Structure 1
C-alpha cells in the first residue's frame, strides 16, 4: 500500500525534507497493516528499516523487563520506532 506525502511529512526528521524528496520517498515507502501480536523486530536485531507508526499502538519491551507503549497519535509516534541499531527493545503490535 502506498504512503501519502502528508503522512510522511508528519514524521521527524522527514518533516525537514524538501517536497520533491518527500514525493520520491512516498513512491518508495511501504505501508502495511500488521496484525496484533506480530513482532516488528527484536532486541539485538540489525536491519536497514525505518519503521514509523501511522496508527495504532506498539508495545516496546526492553531486555531488562521495562515496557513502554507507543501510540501513533502521540508525540512519540512522530519518531521512528527503535531507530538505534542494534535494536534496543522488542516491538510488538
Structure 2
C-alpha cells in the first residue's frame, strides 16, 4: 500500500510541475503576432535610395544598391519584389533573405 501511495503522490507531483510547460504564454498578443514585419516597417523599393537599400538589406552592398536604383530609373517603378531577380547579382536566395523587409507601393 505504501508503494501505491508513493507512486500516486509522485505522479500527481509530476503532473502539477508540468502544468506551466503546457500553459498558455503570458502575453497572448505577442504569441499571436505574425513573424512578418508590418507593411509600414518595410522598405519601399520604389522610393528607397541606394544608401537606404545598402544599410537595411542583408547582402546588399554599394554596387548592388546602386544597380537597384539604376534599374528603377531605367525601367520605371518596380511592379513586384520578384522583379529584383532581373538585376545582375541578385538571386533567389538573396531575394528570399530580404523579402520580408521589402514592399512595392
Give the TM bin, normalised by the shorter chain.
Answer: under 0.3
The structure, 1 or 2, with the larger RCO (C-alpha pairs under 8 Å, 6+ apart) is 1
Q: TM-score, with normalisation over the residues of structure 2? A: 0.25
- Structure with the largest fraction of helix: 2
Q: TM-score, with normalisation over the residues of structure 1? A: 0.27
- Which entry has the higher C-alpha Rg, 1 or 2? 2
